[in-house]
């Protein structure tokens, strides 16, 4: 296998408490720590392990977003990606537009495998990976918890509602990484310094012929309602009585 493309999305760090803007138009991002989407870190780690086993020659990290997303791509390069590509746009793309932009990069790079996180923690859509596969007209294996490459075939163990499912797909293909696929490596300072010298290409979204126009309109964003205060009960009988008073049993 010659090349693996890995999707990298810039999201609010998972340790940050997300706050809704006063006007309800979205969430506060100014001055907030941003990081690589955790599932994308797992996807990148898997690509790096495949390369380190001698089953791929190059790993390319691809992100779609503003100039600031270069910071997350530099993190991907520090983890071990060979080079990076930023599809520059200040618009918040919907999954279909993101998939079309990724497809345009695929047509230029001709990868043998595309790995993305199963979902992004900012919208939890889990749509971009399957859409890439559909537009590319290639097989897909979602929610992967184990990946094995043998020649032009990939064997994937995926997590489904009933347990685990093992499938085989012909390469090129799209794989989306689940939480238990691996544990991403820790980035060390020397790797961060080396990453500054690795190539990072910036491409304008418009040059790819992809429209950033949204098909959906966000009307209002609201924080979740505060949870009701819990109560302590002494025994099962008191618990049942409390549930009856609330009309739950």
| Alpha-helical runs (H) found in 53-199 | 70-79, 95-109, 128-136, 189-195
Structure confidence by residue, pLDDT tens digits, 143-157: 999 999 998 999 999
Look up residue 236 and give its two tokens.
Answer: 């099962």
Helix (H, G, I), strand (E, B) or coil at 238: helix
Q: Of 163, 165, 166, 147, which Cα lies nearest the Cα of 42?
A: 147
246 vs 140, higher pLDDT? 140
Q: Is pLDDT at 228 greater than 90 in this prediction?
A: no
Q: Would you state the pLDDT for residue 29?
A: 86
Q: Of 202, 2, 192, 204, which Cα lies nearest the Cα of 84?
A: 202
CA distances (Å), 97 to each of 65, 66, 85, 220, in order? Answer: 12, 15, 17, 22
The average confidence (pLDDT) of the chain is 93
Return the minimum-mean-pLDDT range out of 56-65, 163-172, 240-249: 240-249
Q: Is pLDDT at 217 greater than 90 in this prediction?
A: no
Binned at pLDDT 50, 70 and 90, residue 248 comes out as confident
DSSP character for 27? Answer: B
Q: Would you state the pLDDT for residue 215?
A: 82
Q: Do 9 and 76 contact (CB within 8 A), yes or no?
A: no
Q: Of 144, 191, 188, which Cα lies nearest the Cα of 169?
A: 144
Q: Would you state the pLDDT for residue 25?
A: 84
> Kind and range of the H or E element at 64?
strand 58-65
Helix (H, G, I), strand (E, B) or coil at 190: helix
Tell how far CA 109 is from the center of its chain.
Answer: 20
Q: Would you state the pLDDT for residue 73?
A: 96
Q: How far apart are CA 96 and CA 204, in angstroms?
A: 17
Phi first, then psi: give them for residue 28, nearest 5 degrees.
Answer: -75, 125
Q: Would you state the pLDDT for residue 230?
A: 83
Structure confidence by residue, pLDDT tens digits, 15-58: 998 889 888 888 888 889 999 999 999 999 999 999 999 999 99
Q: Would you state the pLDDT for residue 212?
A: 87
Q: Do 138 and 105 contact (CB within 8 A), yes or no?
A: no
Q: Would you state the pLDDT for residue 200?
A: 96
Q: Would you state the pLDDT for residue 64?
A: 96
Q: Do 73 and 8 contact (CB within 8 A), yes or no?
A: yes
Q: Would you state the pLDDT for residue 82?
A: 96
Q: Do 135 and 105 contact (CB within 8 A), yes or no?
A: no
In CATH, the number for domain 3-245 is 3.40.50.620
Q: How far apart are CA 175 and CA 142, in angstroms?
A: 6
Structure confidence by residue, pLDDT tens digits, 162-180: 889 999 999 999 999 999 9
179 C-beta neighbours (distance < 10 Å), count: 13
Q: Find the mean pLDDT for residues 101-129.
A: 94
Return the minimum-mean-pLDDT range out of 10-19, 134-143, 177-186, 220-229: 220-229
Q: Would you state the pLDDT for residue 218?
A: 84
Q: Where are the domains of the chain?
A: 3-245
6 vs 162, higher pLDDT? 6
Q: Would you state the pLDDT for residue 108?
A: 95
């Amino acid at each position: 296998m010659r090349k693996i493309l890995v999707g990298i999305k810039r999201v609010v760090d998972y340790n940050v408490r997300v706050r809704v803007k006063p006007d309800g138009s979205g969430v506060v991002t100014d001055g907030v720590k941003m990081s690589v989407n955790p599932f994308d870190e797992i996807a990148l780690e898997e690509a790096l392990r495949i390369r380190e086993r001698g089953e791929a020659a190059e790993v390319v990290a691809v992100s779609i977003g503003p100039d600031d997303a270069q910071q997350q791509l530099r993190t991907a390069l520090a983890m071990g990606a060979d080079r990076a590509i930023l599809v520059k746009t200040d618009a918040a793309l919907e999954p279909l537009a993101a998939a079309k932009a990724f497809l345009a990069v695929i047509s230029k790079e001709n990868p043998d495998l595309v790995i993305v996180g199963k979902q992004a923690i900012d919208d939890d859509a889990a749509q971009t990976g399957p859409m890439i596969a559909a537009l590319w007209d290639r097989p897909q294996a979602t929610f992967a918890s184990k990946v094995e490459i043998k020649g032009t075939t990939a064997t994937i163990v995926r997590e489904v509602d009933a347990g685990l499912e093992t499938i085989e797909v012909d390469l090129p293909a799209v794989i989306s990484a689940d939480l238990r696929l691996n544990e991403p490596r820790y980035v060390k300072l020397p790797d961060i310094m080396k990453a500054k010298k690795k190539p990072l290409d910036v491409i304008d979204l418009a040059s790819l012929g992809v429209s950033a126009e949204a098909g959906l309109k966000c009307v209002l964003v609201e924080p979740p309602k505060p949870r009701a205060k819990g109560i302590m009960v002494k025994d099962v009988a008191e618990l049942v009585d409390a549930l009856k008073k609330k009309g739950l049993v």
